[in-house]
Structure 1
Amino acid sequence: MHISGNTIFIPGSTSGIGLALALELRARGNTVIVGGRRAELLERIAAEHPGIHTVQIDTTDPGSIADAAKRVLAAHPDLNVLVTMAGVMRVEDWRDPASFLDSAEETVITNVLGPIRLIAAFVEHLRERPDATIMTVSSGLAFAPLKATPSYNASKAAIHMLSESIRLQFAGTSVKVVELVPPSVRTALLPGHEDNEHAMPLDAYVAEAVGLIEAQPDAKEILVERVKFLRYGEARGDYDQVVSTLNAADPHGK
């Protein structure tokens, strides 16, 4: 993916990593469309950040995805990058089925079915572009589990393998598949996580990630230095130590 000159749609980017990434990519000379569920929040983003386009979308709703795709492509026929940013993270206790089933289903619908449906809605258009990118968003937790968030870990592992698989299918086409792999970042993904001293500051994460996109336009994975501890634990042979260290530092662990 080239760092500038793109038209980029980022659903699920009204806060956190998504919004910070959208603003940084806009500053790098891209046309950026931010997607989210709340109309009032989209209006505020458009007012506070001139040049950012917005579209209302609920990535848990197939009809909303289809409608948003039509509106985005009608307004931006040169769209060539889709970033499947939307996601949720929930603390779960799988020792009590009554406490985790709804959460697990919501997580899979948002984190797995959402990206699949988004890709399905845009893939025919992207295949017609001379230089297109599908950017998926997994997590360091796709490679080492956080005890408190089983469904989130599993959903991000699914996104990693989905990315690996569809990259093989798109080989030889104009469509690149790039996987963004964040570490723990100070956002509101979990309550109080904005102040988690073990998490990477948001601005620092986005700056490093965008720098990697610029320096490595053909990269398959965008891995900031901090996430490599999780990403390569099994390859290094210290997976058990990685899992132990990760969960010892988790403020949600019980």
Structure 2
Amino acid sequence: MEISNSTIVITGGSSGIGLEMCKRFMDKGNIVITCSRSLDKLKKAQQQLPDLIVYQCDIADEKQCNHFVKWIQINYPKVNVLINNAAISSNINFANDDFVLEKLQDEMATNLIAPIRLIKLLYPALIKNNSAKIINITTGLVYVPRVNYTFYNASKAALHSFTQVLREQLKKEKVQIIEVLFPAVDTPWHNGNPPKIAIRVEKAVSEMLKAISQDKLEIRIAKVKLLYLLSRIAPKLAFKKVNSLN
């Protein structure tokens, strides 16, 4: 079913895919709450969407994350949808980067640990309300890694694995565990240099919403469907193709 009459938390909703999600869910009359590290970006998002509820928070920071959850529980007890969208990546060479371990910690904290923490802390509130959903945003790179994303691939692959486990563990509960695997999307995440194959953010989110309305639980967007099949049939070719793209 389509998500409506819901209270939705979307991490990383100040730009890109997250902001488009906020817009589309608000168009359906939902209450949408988003967080970001950057207060400036949150203010700009709120200028575009005046009814968007914003909260400055670095979800990689355990204390800030805990405060965010408590604030939600007090102010929005009817929360029933959590979308773990926020993510970061570093384009680095493992052997030659002197700060590689610090970047590892930051990426894992943001891309993997924070979503798991938010799920654990918000689960009691989510499960009390109707049409509860936990939606984890990952990538087609969980199937085939791209070599310049040294840790991003691994963090998202771990979240992919965790999502599958969580779905099985909670299969008897009244909550949907959904994963959305996006391809390259033309957003500010690419710092003004999106790959040629990147699709429009509007198309990416439209396809996501359509699949959610059809109660699909593992949603492969656009060419991720092809990448999934190719990774099973010809993994070496898939790896070569992914890493030859500009």
Smaller-chain TM-score bracket: over 0.9
TM-score of the two chains, using structure 1 as the length reference = 0.91
Q: 2:75 — aligned with what?
A: 75
CA distances 1:163-189 after superposition (whole Å, capped 9, x unpaired)? 000111111111111001111111222
Which residue identity lines up with residue 196 of structure 2 in the other structure?
E
CA distance in 2, matches of 1:152, 1:12: 16
State the 1:66 CA deviation: 1.1
State the 1:125 CA deviation: 1.1
Residues 1:7 and 2:18 aligned together: no
Runs of 4+ aligned residues of structure 1 deviating over 6 Å after TM superposition are: none
List gaps (5 residues or longer) in structure 1.
none
CA RMSD for the aligned pairs? Answer: 1.6
Contact kept? 1:16, 1:188, Cα under 8 Å:
yes
List gaps (5 residues or longer) in structure 2.
none
Q: 2:86 — aligned with what?
A: 86
CA distances 1:172-231 after superposition (whole Å, capped 9, x unpaired)? 11111100111111122233334x3221121221122222222x1x21112223211222
In the alignment, which of 231, 234, 238 is matched to residue 234 of structure 1? 231
CA distance in 1, matches of 2:173, 2:235: 36
Which residue identity lines up with residue 100 of structure 1 in the other structure?
V
Contact kept? 1:139, 1:156, Cα under 8 Å:
yes
Residues 1:52 and 2:49 aligned together: no
CA distances 1:102-154 after superposition (whole Å, capped 9, x unpaired)? 22221111101111111122011112223201111111111101011121000
Q: 1:148 — aligned with what?
A: 148
State the 1:101 CA deviation: 2.2
Residues 1:221 and 2:218 aligned together: yes
State the 1:7 CA deviation: 1.0
Contact kept? 1:112, 1:158, Cα under 8 Å:
yes
The 5-angstrom pairing of residues 179-198 of structure 1 reads 179-194=179-194, 196-198=195-197
The 5-angstrom pairing of residues 58-207 of structure 1 reads 58-96=58-96, 98-194=98-194, 196-207=195-206
Contact kept? 2:183, 2:222, Cα under 8 Å:
no
CA distance in 1, matches of 2:139, 2:167: 18
CA distance in 2, matches of 1:136, 1:200: 20
Contact kept? 1:167, 1:176, Cα under 8 Å:
yes
CA distance in 1, matches of 2:234, 2:198: 21
- Give the count of matched residue pairs: 246
CA distance in 2, matches of 1:47, 1:201: 22
CA distance in 2, matches of 1:140, 1:212: 16
Which residue identity lines up with residue 165 of structure 1 in the other structure?
V
Contact kept? 1:129, 1:174, Cα under 8 Å:
no
Which residue identity lines up with residue 240 of structure 1 in the other structure?
K
Contact kept? 2:180, 2:221, Cα under 8 Å:
no
Which SS does the other structure have where 2:98 is aligned?
A: helix
State the 1:31 CA deviation: 1.4
Which SS does the other structure have where 2:151 is aligned?
A: helix
CA distance in 2, matches of 1:87, 1:101: 17
In the alignment, which of 236, 239, 244 is matched to residue 240 of structure 2? 244
